[in-house]
């Protein structure tokens, strides 16, 4: 029996007020397991990103619980929740959100610096992760001097450097051409995924579906089926 | 926390255009603020030059006197009365007045003549050349070698001149710690010779210089002098009185204050706006940090550090620029009255702290309001 990394139960989320009020998530139940690469797919506005935000501890749901490794994360206080994200979650944002004024290696070191690791030690560690993602020799360049695929790999290295149990990737291929997108996801599956890590990917890029362990379909705020795989 | 500070530092200084704009803005504001205050401090210092140079503990004067140059003569009995007051160790008369010196080319130069008590020469300046006892000689004067000295054509010891149509002889060259505001040379002589050479009103004693037996006698002396209808002030009180006159009754203080406030507002506007823009441009990045697990207080700390670092760097550069320009100005204009005091530095520092606080306040508000979810939504 696989071990669940995330268990979400009856998640509901509303946005707006009055007549503009709309429900983004409707009684969503989900389990993500260690060792799997779970995709959440669906059309724009279906609630994928909202769900990802609730699961990763950055958007509080209006109802339901999210348990990560047995801890109900939405019962945590502000600082404890921030610590949870820092130590348990690695983020790869759709637009990467790399710091343009920092070098590549400094960007990768950011999570370690937030963990109060000594600067030099953090940079040395970040250097190793850049090597893992194949960017050795690009350490001292700023992100603007890198291609889109390279920037994505820097973002992945940054997410990995904190050694998170859960990696959250939001539309990881949206800004990349087809070949680069597939190469990135293949790289993640081969080098980042392991038995002690769960990877959640929100995407609507069907070219990368073959790399998924499971694919959950979402529409109108509901999970309404599994497109691929089973637990 | 050092790593987070270093991160904040790199985010700030690596944005060279913004950082330069911030530094230039604060440097310029500090320069203007300090320059204005330094000019005013220089004026006030020179206005009190005689009080500083003479060094008496207490000064007795007519209550209407506002500045040391604006003397109102007191009758001789006041001196006798003060000498006999309880708590007075000694009291001597002091004369200060204006005269005209005829130069070799036939033109006239205004001078300030200071008459020191004949017996004690209390308040005499230290001599660079000559002997103090020579001031008792016939027609003897001591000239102060300050930036105004050249206006008397740099007279050496032994030089003769005409002062108020009387013969005068330079018997010594002195130095003083603070030079006069009014841009005229200063001559020292004895009290009685000053009275002989200068046209006198009915009452001749400009001031009475008093030394109390003990510091605790000051209040008692003041009361006794007040009972006579005159005013006794300590040295610091007299300096404050002169300063207050220039601050509040001449318009100089108001003008300087307005200029200083304008400099502050310009600095606040430039720096505040630039820093706020800097924070806005990095808002998504702060949001990303928040999503990754940075705590709100850490982000506040980063912004405060960036604002403080910018403010203090600009403060140092502004002070340096001001000091450099004052030094440069003095090379060309020896009379240039500007001095940077600790009070100036402290005032400018407070204003810079306010600029940093206001700039960072709006940035912090925006950063605290940003939701990491917005980063996900793009």
Q: Tens of pLDDT along B14-24?
A: 989 889 988 99
Mean pLDDT score across all residues of chain A? 88
First CA to last CA distance, chain B: 29
The span from the CA of A131 to the CA of A103, in Å, is 15
What is the reported pLDDT for B264? 83
B372–A102 C-beta distance less than 8 A: no
Render chain A in DSSP notation, one character per residue. Answer: -PPEEEEEEEEEEEESSGGG-EEEEEEEEEEEETT-EEEEE--TTSSHHHHHHHHTTSS--SEEEEEETTEEGGGS-HHHHHHHHHHHEEEE-TT----TTS-HHHHHHHHHHHTT--HHHHHHHHHHHHHHTT-TT-TTS-GGGS-HHHHHHHHHHHHHHT--SEEEEESTTTTS-HHHHHHHHHHHHHHT--TT-EEEEEE--GGGGGG-SEEEEEETTEEEEEEE---
Minimum-distance CB partner of B373 among A58, A79, A110 = A58
The span from the CA of A42 to the CA of A69, in Å, is 26
The span from the CA of A119 to the CA of A100, in Å, is 18
The span from the CA of B282 to the CA of B288, in Å, is 10
The span from the CA of A45 to the CA of A48, in Å, is 8
The span from the CA of B321 to the CA of B292, in Å, is 42
In angstroms, what separates the C-alpha of A72 from chain B's closest C-alpha? Answer: 17
A119–B295 C-beta distance less than 8 A: no
Minimum-distance CB partner of B373 among A59, A101, A119 = A59
Minimum-distance CB partner of B292 among A114, A118, A119 = A114
Band (pLDDT 50/70/90 cuts) for residue B92 is very high
**Residue to substitute from A54, A61, A119, interface B, most B β-carbons within 10 A:** A119
pLDDT at A229 over 80: no
The span from the CA of B246 to the CA of B252, in Å, is 6
B7–A113 C-beta distance less than 8 A: yes
pTM over 0.80: no
Residue B101 forms beta bridges with which residues? B109, B163
A164-220 per-position pLDDT tens digit: 999 999 888 877 777 778 888 888 888 788 888 899 999 888 888 888 999 999 999
Q: A177: Cβ–Cβ under 8 A, 6 or more apart, which residues?
A: A148
Q: Which two tokens stand for residue A129?
A: 């992760």
What residues in chain A have their Cβ under 8 A from chain B's Cβ atoms? 49-50, 52-53, 56, 58-59, 78-79, 82-87, 89, 91, 93-95, 97, 99, 101-102, 106, 110-114, 116-119, 122, 170
Nearest residue in chain A measured CA to CA from B370: A58
Number of neighbours of residue B320 by Cβ within 10 angstroms: 13
Comparing C-alpha atoms, which of B295, B314, B301, B313 is closest to residue B363?
B301
The span from the CA of B148 to the CA of B336, in Å, is 11
Report the relative pairing of strands B160-163 and B88-102 from DSSP bridges. antiparallel
DSSP symbol at B214: S
Band (pLDDT 50/70/90 cuts) for residue A109 is very high
Residue B17, chain A, CB below 8 Å: the answer is no
pLDDT at B295 over 50: yes
pLDDT at A17 over 80: yes
Comparing C-alpha atoms, which of B27, B188, B46 is closest to residue B111?
B188
At residue B314, what are phi and psi to the nearest 5 degrees? -65, -35
Minimum-distance CB partner of B3 among A58, A99, A122 = A122
**B7 to chain A: which residues are within 8 Å by CB?**
102, 106, 110, 113
Residue B30, chain A, CB below 8 Å: the answer is no
Band (pLDDT 50/70/90 cuts) for residue B378 is low
A58–B371 C-beta distance less than 8 A: yes
Q: Poorest-confidence range of A152-156, B32-36, B44-48, B215-219?
A: B44-48
Minimum-distance CB partner of B293 among A85, A102, A118 = A85
What is the reported pLDDT for B370? 85
**A56 to chain B: which residues are within 8 Å by CB?**
291
A52–B376 C-beta distance less than 8 A: yes
Mean pLDDT computed over B60-79: 90
pLDDT at A154 over 50: yes
Nearest residue in chain A measured CA to CA from B291: A58
A114–B298 C-beta distance less than 8 A: yes
At residue B204, what are phi and psi to the nearest 5 degrees? -115, -20
**A83 to chain B: which residues are within 8 Å by CB?**
293
B182-226 per-position pLDDT tens digit: 788 999 999 999 988 887 777 888 999 999 999 999 999 999 999
pLDDT at A231 over 50: no
Q: How many residues does chain A have?
A: 231
At residue A44, what are phi and psi to the nearest 5 degrees? -60, 140
What is the reported pLDDT for A1? 61
B327-352 per-position pLDDT tens digit: 999 888 877 888 899 998 999 899 88
Q: Which helix H or strand E contains B277, and what residues bound it?
A: helix B252-281
A29-77 per-position pLDDT tens digit: 999 999 999 999 988 888 998 999 999 999 999 999 999 988 899 999 8
Mean pLDDT computed over B171-177: 92
């Amino acid at each position: 029996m696989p071990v669940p990394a995330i268990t979400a139960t009856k998640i509901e989320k509303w946005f707006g007020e009055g007549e503009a009020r709309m429900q983004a998530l409707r009684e969503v139940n989900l389990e993500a397991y260690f060792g799997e690469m779970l995709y959440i797919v669906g059309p724009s506005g279906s609630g994928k990103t909202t769900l990802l935000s609730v699961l990763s501890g950055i958007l509080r749901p209006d109802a339901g619980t999210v348990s990560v490794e047995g801890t109900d994360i939405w019962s945590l206080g502000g600082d404890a929740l921030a610590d949870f994200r820092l130590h348990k979650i690695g983020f790869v944002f759709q637009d990467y959100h790399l710091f343009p004024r920092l070098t590549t290696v400094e960007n990768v070191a950011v999570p370690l610096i937030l963990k109060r690791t000594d600067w030099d030690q953090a940079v040395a560690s970040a250097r190793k992760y850049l090597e893992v993602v194949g960017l050795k020799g690009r350490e001292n360049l700023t992100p603007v001097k890198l291609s889109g695929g390279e920037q994505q790999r820097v973002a992945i290295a940054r997410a990995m450097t904190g050694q998170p149990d859960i990696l959250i990737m939001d539309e990881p291929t949206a800004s990349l051409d087809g070949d680069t997108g597939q190469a990135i996801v293949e790289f993640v599956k081969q080098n980042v995924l392991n038995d002690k890590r769960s990877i959640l990917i929100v995407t609507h890029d069907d070219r990368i579906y073959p790399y998924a362990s499971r694919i959950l379909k979402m529409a109108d705020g509901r999970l309404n089926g599994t497109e691929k795989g089973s637990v | 926390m050092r790593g987070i500070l270093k991160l904040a530092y790199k985010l700030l200084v690596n944005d060279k255009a913004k950082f330069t704009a911030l530094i230039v803005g604060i440097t310029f504001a500090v320069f203007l603020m300090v320059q204005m205050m330094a000019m005013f401090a220089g004026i006030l210092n020179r206005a009190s030059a005689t009080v500083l140079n003479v060094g008496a503990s207490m000064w007795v004067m007519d209550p209407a006197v506002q500045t040391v140059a604006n003397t109102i003569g007191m009758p001789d009995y006041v001196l006798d009365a003060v000498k006999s007051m309880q708590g007075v160790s000694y009291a001597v008369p002091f004369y200060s007045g204006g005269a005209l010196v005829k130069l070799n080319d036939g033109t006239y130069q205004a001078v300030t003549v200071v008459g020191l008590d004949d017996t004690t020469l209390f308040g005499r300046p230290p001599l660079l050349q000559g002997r103090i006892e020579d001031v008792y000689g016939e027609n003897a004067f001591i000239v102060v070698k300050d930036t105004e000295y050249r206006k008397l054509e740099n007279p050496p010891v032994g030089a003769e001149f005409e002062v108020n149509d009387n013969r005068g002889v330079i018997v010594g060259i002195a130095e003083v710690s603070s030079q006069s505001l009014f841009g005229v040379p200063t001559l020292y002589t004895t009290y009685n010779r000053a009275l002989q050479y200068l046209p006198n009103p009915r009452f001749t004693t400009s001031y009475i210089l008093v030394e109390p037996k003990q510091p605790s006698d000051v209040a008692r002396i003041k009361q006794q002098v007040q009972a006579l209808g005159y005013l006794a002030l300590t040295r610091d009180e007299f300096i404050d009185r002169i300063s207050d006159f220039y601050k509040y009754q001449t318009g100089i203080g108001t003008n300087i204050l307005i200029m200083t406030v304008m400099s502050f507002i310009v600095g606040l506007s430039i720096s505040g706006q630039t820093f706020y823009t800097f924070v806005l441009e990095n808002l998504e990045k702060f949001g990303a940090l928040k999503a990754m697990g940075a705590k709100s207080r850490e982000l506040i700390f980063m912004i405060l550090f960036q604002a403080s670092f910018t403010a203090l760097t600009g403060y140092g550069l502004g002070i340096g620029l001001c000091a450099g320009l004052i030094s440069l100005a003095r090379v060309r204009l020896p009379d240039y009255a500007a001095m940077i005091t600790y009070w100036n530095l402290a005032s400018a520092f407070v204003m810079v702290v306010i600029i940093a606080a206001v700039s960072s306040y709006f940035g912090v508000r925006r950063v605290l309001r940003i939701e990491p979810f917005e980063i996900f939504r793009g």
